[in-house]
Structure 1
Amino acid sequence: MLRRPIVPTLLGSIRRLLLTPSMADVTFEVRGFPVTPSEVTRRLEAIPQSVVCGFEWGIDARDQWEVERRLGLVEPEFRGFAYEGATMAFTVLDAMGGGRGHRTRDLLMGPGRPHIFLTYIGVGFAMARLPRPLWKKVMPDLTGSDYYPVMTWLAVDGYAFDRAYFDTRRYVDEQRPLAPYPWEGTPDYFPRAADQGIGRSLWFIHGGDPLAVAAAVRRFAGHRHADLWSGAGLAATFAGGATPDGLRVLRDEAGEYLPELAQGSVFAAKARHYAGFVPEHTEAAAAVLAGLTIEGAVALADTTAVAPRDAGQVPAYEMWRGNVRGRLAAANVS
């Protein structure tokens, strides 16, 4: 059976021009981030650039096969980030179509399933470009999918990461909080999930420099530090960018928030393992930040997971995070 040629649609091209930053727009220099260009920072820049590629392929695509084929050509270390971008595109298209589309669900229940942690973040990137009244339409029903709906809080994380990355002055330099929203019916937890995304952004904004990241966290109000450190640990482990010595500095700088830093690292190791590709930098970070092998981190995540029905006023996602922190603290990761 012959496939249609892979050519962009006119409407898709218009949407891409209106909604997508260019490859240059996401570089640290153009964003004005305080980093010295190096091989490490260029490697980190390749992550948002992979998201841009995924979005462009998704917004222009005629069908899912086309997107899946393109995403399959991305090297494994960056493929999940490209899936983030494609999910962002499909979420925008579904929401702008009145919420009747099923592109996002088909992607997340199909080829995007191994990357579910990152595709949830891609939904959050779409939220940053959609008016809030449409947010109730962005998360499809993924019943039957692993980690649904527990991990959908990663969409809020992704939304906040996007806001901090593209409006750094407001959300990082001035530390302005993001307005709450009743995600999963729990508006009180929204700011905490958002701070986890802002913490992830600090790793990129400061080019993986542990001392600069630590200094940035300390400029925020004290009650925000725990979630910011968790986000930094997740980014350092999933994205890489630090040497083992740098990771030890990050660990030391976290101080009393080491269990939070380590919890973020455990979730990152779990996400990488679930996607089927674990880079060396993820292994190194899990060992330094959490004192665990990848297998140990995955086992810890799996044995502390919480089902939605077991949660009360506190989201199951936060209960899961708390269980991981508790185990780490008991193991003297403190």
Structure 2
Amino acid sequence: MPTLLRRLRRRILTPDVSQTRLSTRGFHEKDHASRHLLETVGETFLYGYARIAEAATPADAVTALENVPARFRGFAYEGATMACAVLDGLPFGRTDNVRRFLAGPGDPHVYMAYVGVGWAMARLPRLRWSALYAPDPVLRWLVLDGYGFHQAYFRTRDYVHGQRRDTVVPWRPDAENAYAGNAFDQGIGRALWFVCGTDADRVATTVEGFAPQRRADLYSGVGLAATYAGGADAGELTRLLHRAGEHRAAVSQGSAFAASARVRAGLENTHTDLATGVLCAMTAKEAAEQCDRTRPAAGDVPGVAYETWRSRLRDVFAVVS
């Protein structure tokens, strides 16, 4: 495809950056620093998306993605994978962009990549969902996590204030759809960190407004976002853990997942250790090691292996805390 046509494709497919502004979304602004952080996350996501939308192949975007500062690079890869999935879902062109991306530069960022596929799911018609590539039977639930995040981020009135929950998402013929609502809520929980502007008390109050049976999954998503995106100091994170009450271990589990994602990609930073130090009572690398140790092999356990993994981690942190 000629360069001019690829640039036109980027302009057509890439959402406007104004959609990442807290004021546009109507999200809470805790302070200038948190607003700048969250808006930079959104801008970086769209930067990664645009690089793929304009590239001849996913590999051609790698240099631009790797030049993103380490704190935000994972979000660039998340956006890049969304673009790959959107291209796969179009009724023309190649349909193996995500496969090639995950087999190459996207592999260290596999957690974020699967979430990015979920963003694409929210933007594609259902009849094209079968084109989405998410082969790992354990991690593929992160696709529905990404889908839930997207809905809460862009349709906040319905999914946060109205507490709508998509419990059945027919995205794969072999998916255990009874678990779809749980994965969806984990994504909503991550989005709450953005909707509430990284304000730990506001996040906790919002979670407490949801039905009790949804709160563990929501808090898991909150813990992941609070660790991966950041924006809260030790005191705020301590209050979040305290407010979570019986769901403290869920917050810790989400935090450990975030640490694992950053450590795997070589993107851990001082905030990662700060967050896991409070939420997991261990370093980011130690939390990531717990994820590696407890992850089940697909087929080795009955039911949803992903939830078995999360449950094992909650048990770890129930003892630690």
Question: What's the TM-score bracket when you normalise by the shorter of the two chains?
Answer: over 0.9
1:22-47 CA distances to partner (integer Å, 9 max, x unpaired)? 11211111111122441122112211
Q: Distance in 2 between matches of 1:319 and 1:247?
A: 26
Question: Does the alignment pair 1:325 with 2:319?
Answer: no
Out of 234, 246, 249, the position equivalent to 2:236 is 246
Question: Does the alignment pair 1:124 with 2:118?
Answer: yes
**2:97 matched to which residue of 1?**
103
Shift of 1:56: 1.0
Contact 1:99 1:138 (C-alpha < 8 Å) held by counterparts: no
Name the TM-score, length of structure 2 as normaliser: 0.94
Amino acid at match of 2:241: R
Contact 2:111 2:139 (C-alpha < 8 Å) held by counterparts: yes
1:301-325 CA distances to partner (integer Å, 9 max, x unpaired)? 111111111132x211110000000
Out of 62, 69, 87, the position equivalent to 1:68 is 62
1:171-216 CA distances to partner (integer Å, 9 max, x unpaired)? 0000011251244521110000000000000001111100000011
**2:247 matched to which residue of 1?**
257
1:240-292 CA distances to partner (integer Å, 9 max, x unpaired)? 00011111111111111001000001111111100112111110110101111
Question: Does the alignment pair 1:208 with 2:208?
Answer: no
* SS in structure 1 at match of 2:235: helix
Contact 2:295 2:309 (C-alpha < 8 Å) held by counterparts: yes
* SS in structure 1 at match of 2:292: helix
Query: Mind listing any 5+ residue stretches in structure 1 that lack a counterpart?
Result: 142-147
* SS in structure 2 at match of 1:229: helix
**1:13 matched to which residue of 2?**
8
Aligned pairs for 1:1-334 within 5 A? 8-10=3-5, 13-14=8-9, 16-97=10-91, 101-141=95-135, 148-182=136-170, 183=172, 184-312=174-302, 314-331=303-320, 333=321
1:53-93 CA distances to partner (integer Å, 9 max, x unpaired)? 11111112112332112112111111111111111111111
Contact 2:65 2:76 (C-alpha < 8 Å) held by counterparts: yes
* SS in structure 2 at match of 1:267: helix
Amino acid at match of 1:91: A
* SS in structure 2 at match of 1:264: helix
Moved more, 153-162 or 97-106: 97-106
Shift of 1:116: 0.5
Percent identity reads 42
1:97-149 CA distances to partner (integer Å, 9 max, x unpaired)? 469521111111101111000000110110010012221220154xxxxxx23
Q: Distance in 2 between matches of 1:178 and 1:27?
A: 26
Contact 1:199 1:229 (C-alpha < 8 Å) held by counterparts: yes
Contact 1:13 1:59 (C-alpha < 8 Å) held by counterparts: no
Q: Distance in 1 between matches of 2:97 and 2:157?
A: 34
Name the TM-score, length of structure 1 as normaliser: 0.91
Moved more, 235-244 or 128-137: 128-137
Over the residues paired in the alignment, what is the CA RMSD in angstroms?
Answer: 1.8
Q: Distance in 1 between matches of 2:158 and 2:148?
A: 12
Q: Report how many residues are paired.
A: 319
Query: Mind listing any 5+ residue stretches in structure 2 that lack a counterpart?
Result: none
